[in-house]
Amino acid sequence: MQAPVAADTPGSIFGWVWHDVCQTAKDGEPALTSAPAGCIEAASPLGDYRADGSIDSQEPPLAGIVVHLGAGACPSAGLAQMSTIATDISYSFTDLEAGTYCVSIDPSEEANLSLLRPGIWTFPEVSEGVIGRTVVLKPGDVIYDVNFGWDHQFLP
């Protein structure tokens, strides 16, 4: 039996912001007849194909993306923010009280604009604007995989 966790034991949220790669035909090459690996056929602002929304070992974390933490369910911001790094864990918020939080990213925010535009979110949902995930922490919870996938329009 596991020992009870004290009500004031802090929790943490960890996750990745990654480049969800979808490499399609380049200008001058024949049009594709089926979705390449890592892509799905879907009409989107990027064309006939977009990244599949699944992280794999070949897809790199994106460094320098500003991630926000807010109190309560999404949309919410204002508690903390950090810039992602390209190492073991892309971002983390630690020493958090039990409660509900919103982890969000605005691709049009000045710090993110040059790193993310043009493109779309592919995980946790397909979207072009601000994206967020509501996380409920119990005392002592350590929640991993609060992830966000981005498909750049002009990168492989």
CA dist 76 to 14, 71, 131, Å? Answer: 18, 6, 11
Q: Which tokens hold the place of 151?
A: 């498909």
Longest dimension (CA), the chain: 64
Flag whether pLDDT at 70 surpasses 60: yes
The pLDDT value given to residue 78: 94
> For the whole model, what pTM was predicted?
0.88
Residues 125/128/130/132 CA torsion (nearest 10 deg): 10
Flag whether pLDDT at 131 surpasses 80: yes
CA dist 146 to 8, 44, 49, 100, Å? Answer: 23, 24, 25, 14
Over residues 69-82, mean pLDDT: 96
Over residues 79-101, mean pLDDT: 93
Q: Residue 123: beta bridge partners? A: 149
The pLDDT value given to residue 156: 56
Q: What is the mean pLDDT of the chain?
A: 88
